[in-house]
Amino acid sequence: MKKAKALLAVVLAVSVVFLCGCSNISGILNKNNSGYYEITAVSKNASNYASVDICEDNVAFITYKGTDGYILSVYNAADNRISASVSLDDCGLEHAANAKFKNENEIVIYDDFAEKAVSYDLNLNKIGETEYTPDSDMENMPQSELLTNDFDYKDEYAVHYSANKTTCVFYDETDKFYINDNDSSIFIDAHNKSILKSVYSEKENIFTVGIENYKDGVRINEIKFNGENGLSENIQLGKLNDKYAVFILETTNDCTGGIAFTPYIWKYKDNPANEKLELSIKSEKDITEDNNNIIRDIKDNYNIRITCDEVIEGFYENETEYGVNALELNTVLTGINKYLKLFPDGFVREIYDYDSYFNGLKINIVKSIENINAYAVDDMGDYMLIVFSYYGFGDNAGVFFHEFMHLIDNRISDYYFKNYNSDFYDEWCRLNPKDFEYADRDAREPEFEYNKSYFISDYATTDMLEDTADTFRYLCENAENGVKNDYDGNLNKKIELLCKAIRSAYPSAAKETELYWEKPLNK
């Protein structure tokens, strides 16, 4: 984990490229008197930035330009000037790519490959070798048992991203989980529970840099960068303190592939917005209570029994990792509850109540299943079963709807037999290429390439049941993402057949004007 930052700096140092054929970046900024400006004194002497840190009014940069190697500079924000600058060629470190203030008068340069460090005073006179202290990692941080490898570990906090939700834990309050339920931003840095963050809206081509205070639950301020002429923005590096946010804006010209890096300093408390955040603060006890409530609601509404880490005899018990914790369980339960609501009223019960043999459906949630994300079994005694893994559940509807299709198809097959005296899958397979046979991927020729006029994915060619399930997955993922169906030929006929079959076999679906998975069909 600690090697990543140095590696990034090395990559940046050897891959300097410039924007071509675009306007000056200052011309595309949405100036709104938010107290931010380009640090021209630094940007005119640098092509790339390996590190940035801030203490009081001073900002330390490690920059690179052409053949000059790494340069350490101190920029004074109060005077708006570079107060000192020195080459790091003779610092004694092979990879001098990471700078941090030890205190307001001393800067430490780290070689994360060799795990060595040297220090300089504020005038950039070399003091000498000093203790190497690695970046934050989970082994060195106080933590709740709910924190896992899925969290990104920073100096002050750990953060986990999932679909439309960001979960943050600060190391001085590991019993508190700060959860922003409508946030898809990326955290750059934190100071006293204020977060420097970024979010890009591809639809609007707007890049937002914001400061959010989790302690008070408010958005302090934000600035927006409006992309033009194929330009897109991202934050490469950033730091935050009581006075300033400093960040390196990476601007990419999508037309030419050129990249420019520009440093900005932002006195973010000027003209603050102070908008309330959609933020909840929960403890492990709160999360466990949420889980119990979701499990109860799912049982009451759908007759689905949720279990956790239950060993299912005969199915992957030797290849399953157990021990899903309350936070991981909450992620999967929240997704299951969200996606169940997308079925028509009564639809879920129709999956199993067509046959009096079944008493309902059970969902078991585990940590991971080797080589697969989930699996469904349509006959486990007197109930149907789906096993979802936390690591495989993902941030979209795909895994959920793929597995549910494996159960949905039972009623379809029964309906076709009773009403048409035919096999639904015979009709389905007639839409495959002539002489095609489903085959396990391991049994194919290495040069195998599936025909996209007939199949939605490579996996769909392994089995006719996987074919229908992955086709249904495609429809539901596209419905979630707002993507319209653009397939023609026999694949489109398969899609139409599947949607027609669901409407025919499920009374609740037949009553709906538009079903969730039919949204991509309505161009």
DSSP states of 18-56: ---S---GGGGB---S-SEEE-HHHHTT-SEEEEEEEET
How confident is the model over 425-436, as a mean pLDDT? 94
CB 99 within 8 A of CB 117: no
Average pLDDT over residues 329-341: 94
Per the CB < 8 A criterion, the answer to whether 362 and 301 are in contact is no
Nearest Cα neighbor of 77 from 272, 212, 239 is 239
Q: Which residue has the higher pLDDT, 235 or 355?
A: 235
Q: Which carries the bigger pLDDT value, residue 354 or residue 79?
A: 79
Please compute the mean of the pLDDT values over residues 199-220 and round it to a whole number.
88
Read off the amino acid at residue 448.
Answer: F
Confidence of residue 484 (pLDDT cuts 50, 70, 90): confident
Contact by Cβ (8 Å): 304, 362: yes
* Residue 17's pLDDT band (cuts 50, 70, 90): very low
Mean pLDDT of 156-182: 86
Mean pLDDT check: name the lowest of 98-102, 145-149, 206-210: 145-149
pLDDT for residue 456: 95
Would you tell me how many other CB atoms lie within 10 Å of the CB of residue 309?
Answer: 14
Per-residue pLDDT tens over the stretch 415-430: 999 999 999 999 999 9
Local structure of residue 354 (DSSP, 8 states): T
Q: Which residue has the higher pLDDT, 327 or 229?
A: 327
With a pLDDT cut of 70, the percent of the chain lying above it is 90
Supply the pLDDT for residue 26: 36
pLDDT score recorded for residue 382: 83
**Is residue 20 pLDDT above 60, yes or no?**
no
**Residue 54 CB neighbour total at 10 angstroms:** 25
Nearest to 237 by CA among 226, 229, 248: 248
* pLDDT range class, residue 439, cuts 50, 70, 90: confident
Least confident of 26-30, 50-54, 110-114: 26-30
Tell me what the mean pLDDT of segment 20-26 comes to: 34
**Residue 183 pLDDT level (bands cut at 50, 70, 90):** low
More confident residue, 144 or 409: 409
Of the listed ranges 20-34, 298-312, 399-413, 468-482, the one predicted with least confidence = 20-34
- Please report which confidence band the pLDDT of residue 34 belongs to, taking 50, 70 and 90 as the band edges: low
21 pLDDT higher than 60? no
Average pLDDT rounded to a whole number, residues 358-366: 91
pLDDT tier at 163 (50, 70, 90 boundaries)? low
Asked if the model's pLDDT at residue 229 lies above 80, the reply is no
Over residues 327-353, mean pLDDT: 94
- First vs last Cα of the chain: how many Å apart? 46
Mean pLDDT value across residues 238-263:
90
Q: Is the model's pLDDT at 498 over the cut of 50?
A: yes
SS3 category, 5: helix
pLDDT at 214 over 50: yes
Decide which of 25 and 498 is more confident: 498
Cβ neighbors of 237 (< 8 A, separation 6 or more) are 49, 51, 52, 188, 247, 248
What pLDDT is attached to residue 428? 97
Tell me: the pLDDT tens digits for 54-104? Answer: 999 999 999 988 777 899 999 999 999 999 999 999 899 998 989 999 999
Q: What value does the mean pLDDT take over residues 336-357?
A: 92
